[in-house]
Amino acid sequence: MTRSRDLADLGDNTVSLERQGLTQIVPTSVTVAGAGSSGSVSSTGVVSFSTTTSVIVNGCFSSAYNNYRIMYQNDPSTGASMTARFTTGGSANSNANYDFQCTQLDIATTYTRNTGQTSLTLAVNANNSDMVGFLDVFFPFASSKTYWNGKAYRFLADILHSGEFTTTTSFDGIQFIPSTGTLDGKFYIYGWRS
């Protein structure tokens, strides 16, 4: 069947077809920090940023979807560890409620398990190399615990991470932060079908 025929068969229920699979989200805005930094959201939802010490993607989580996939490509200016925080109304939640584990497989394996942290770790020491990966986020907008897991790759290293935000908080965005230096890159955010 063609898409138009499928939509005709659904009648007024076209929203159901649009929510099957992954649907790219168009965030409401992006906020960047740092001298000379820039950031933008395209009409299709691609978040681009450069020379930033922090990037907040606003309005990417809503009641439309329970779960999300964030695909990212970034290039840190220094050998930085990459962290993230969930946000509400453009404000990052830095309460000590992030419990996570992160395993980085390279020349030497690094394993980190932490409770009561103020952010979640995506990668340990990115070694001045491009990093690509995805982060699946579960129930960020619902007033419940938020969970995540993901995988990243940087030069000669695979990184696995997972965890939870341990209190019931509703989030509508996410912040990415290098431990030192600045970031250039892009994010693509998708809503998962319920």
SS (H, E, C) 132-153: EEEEEEECCCCCCCEEEEEEEE
Among 19-28, 103-112, 113-122, 164-173, name the most confident range. 164-173
- CATH of the domain spanning 25-192: 2.60.120
Q: Please report the pLDDT score of residue 179 as a whole number.
A: 82
Distance CA 83, CA 71 (A): 15
Q: Please report the pLDDT score of residue 19 as a whole number.
A: 52
Q: What is the mean pLDDT of the chain?
A: 84
Is the pLDDT at 44 greater than 50, yes or no? yes
Please report, for the chain, the start and end positions of each structural domain, with discontinuous segments joined by +: 25-192
Q: What are the angstrom distances between the C-alpha of 14 and each of 19, 21, 60, 66, 184?
A: 9, 14, 22, 19, 37
Q: Please report the pLDDT score of residue 173 as a whole number.
A: 97
Lowest mean pLDDT among 63-77, 121-135, 150-164: 121-135
SS3 4: helix
Residue 159 · residue 134 · CB < 8 Å: no
28 or 113, which is more confident: 28
Lowest mean pLDDT among 32-41, 57-66, 126-135: 126-135
What is the per-residue DSSP string for 70-100?
Answer: EEEEEEESSS--EEEEEEETTEE--SS-EEE
Q: Please report the pLDDT score of residue 46 as a whole number.
A: 94
Q: Provide mean pLDDT across the span 61-89.
A: 88
Q: Provide mean pLDDT across the span 60-85.
A: 87
Read off the pLDDT of residues 88-145 as tens digits, 9 standing for 90 and up: 999 999 999 999 998 888 766 777 788 999 998 887 665 556 788 899 999 999 989 9
Distance CA 179, CA 31 (A): 18
